[in-house]
Structure 1
Amino acid sequence: MKFNKLTFCLLATSAVISFSACKSGLSDDKLEEKIENALTGRKTVDVEVEKGKVILSGTVASEEEKQQIESIAKTAGDKDVKSIQNDIVVSAPVATTPAPITVSNNDATLGAAVNTFMKDFPSVQASVKDGIISVTGTLEQAKIVTLKQGLDNLNPKKVDLSGIVVKK
C-alpha cells in the first residue's frame, strides 16, 4: 500500500493528537497543592498525593466535616484524582468555654484582656500575677506562635508558656 504525502501527514497528526490526549494530568505535587488551596483554613487536615491517590489525614470535629473535606478534595482534583483514602479522625469537640483566668487585684485590666483573647484557645488556661501571664494546657505547635504573639501584644511584663504541652 502506497502512502502519499497527505495520507502520511494525516496519520502523523492523528498520532500526535492521540499521544497528547493520553498525557497524564497534574503532577502529584501540583495536585496536592491544588487540593490544599481548596482546603485553606483547615489547619488540622493534611494532604498527600502518591500517583494520583489522595491521602487525607488529621482531625476534625464531626463526621459531616470529614465528608465535606473529602468532597472538596474530589472536586478540586477533578479528573486527576484516581482515588481518595480518607484517614481523617473525628475527635470529640473541644469545650468552647475557656476556663476562667486567675487574676490578682493589681492585674484586673490585663486579666480582662487576656480572658477575652483566650476565648480562641479553649484547650489552655491563663493566669495573671504581677504583670506576668502564665499559660498551661495542651496546644498544637502551629497555634503556639499565634498564642504567644497575641499575649505579647497585651503588653505584660512576661509571657510564660512553660506549662504548655505540645500536641502533635
Structure 2
Amino acid sequence: MKLNKLLLILSFSVLPFVHSCRSPESDNKLKSKIESALADNQGIAVDVEEGNVTLNGQLGSDSLKQVVEEKTKMAGGEQIKSIHNNIVVNLPEPEGAREKYHELVGGAVDSTLTRDVNRVLEDFPTITAQVKEGIITATGNIEKTKMDSLKKRLEHIKPKGIDMKGVTSR
C-alpha cells in the first residue's frame, strides 16, 4: 500500500515536468501559425523554443509593434508560454527635419559637426575634411574598399550635405 502511494505521489510530481517538455514539432507548428498570422507584417522574424515566442524586426510605430504582439497571442493561444517582443521601432525622419535642424542651430552646427567629423576621420588618417554651413567637404586618398564605410559614417552624423569630390580611391 505504501508503495502504491509513493508511486502515485512520484507520478504526480513528474507530470508537470513532462508537460513542460515540448516537442520541436509542436514549436514548429506554433511558429507556422504565428508566421501565417503575421504574413502582412514583412520583416518580422519569429522564433519559438519550448512555447516561448521571440519576435524580432523593425517597424515604423509603437502601435504596429502592439498589433504584431496581439496577432501573435491570438494565433498561438494557450500554446504560448511567453512572448518576448524585441521589435525595434524606427520612426521615420520627418521630411525636411535635417534642414530645419540646421536652420535652428545656425553656426553652432559647424562646430558640432567638425567635432564629429574629426572623430570619424581618426579611422581614416589619409582623409581631411572641412565643415562650412553644415556641409562636409572631404579630400584625400583612400582605398576603394573603405570608401563606402567613410561615406556611411559621415552620413550617420547627419550633415546638411557631403562633398567627396576631392577624395580619390586607390
Give the TM-score range, shorter chain. Answer: 0.3 to 0.5
Q: Provide the TM-score with structure 1 as the length reference.
A: 0.41
Q: Provide the TM-score with structure 2 as the length reference.
A: 0.41
More strand by share: 1
More helix by share: 2
